[in-house]
Amino acid sequence: MSNEDLFGNNPLQGVKLEQVVSELVDQYGWELLHAYLLLNCFKNNPDIKSAVKFLRKTQWAQDKVENFYLYRLKNLPKPDDVQYQLPPRDRVIPEDHKPGEPCELSFSDAKRIQAKKEAKDRARTRKQRSNASNPWGN
């Protein structure tokens, strides 16, 4: 199987990171991107060139932005567990999944999502601190 067969149906194939950031900014704006992704490159002196520079140096942030691009802007269905383990640029999108209209986003939705993430993180931290030898988590 050639690379074209493997990655031909990935919307990120052949798309530069600068184009990804530009499309996201054009669609949603800097403030909304910061509200959803919580990346300071979208808050402090936002500029496409500086954001791309940061994202190239920081792989986890680049993956976060590319996931947002695929599943919010391109509105693709979420990947299965096997594909989710791969970086966004390496994922194979099934032939029947075509990009749709961009998702409608709001600041209230971003706050709701962040609160949900924080609750999960607190629960995870609490669970990690308590164990058989230290049930109080001190």
55, 106, 120 from 71: Cα distances, Å: 18, 16, 21
At 47, is the pLDDT very low, low, confident or very high (cuts 50, 70, 90)? very high
Helix ranges restricted to H, 8-106: 17-28, 30-37, 48-57, 59-68, 81-84
Cα–Cα distance measured from residue 123 to residue 32, given in angstroms and rounded to the nearest whole number? 27
- The C-alpha atoms of residue 81 and residue 83 are separated, in whole angstroms, by 6
Rounded Cα distance between 52 and 62, Å, is 9
Sign, CA dihedral 120-56-7-19, equals positive
Q: How many CA atoms lie within 13 A of 98 on its CB side?
A: 2
Threshold 0.85, pTM exceeds = no
CA distance 8 to 46: 32
Q: Which two tokens stand for residue 127?
A: 């669970």
List pLDDT tens digits, range 4-27. 555 567 778 889 999 999 999 999
Q: Report the chain's mean pLDDT, rounded to a whole number.
A: 85
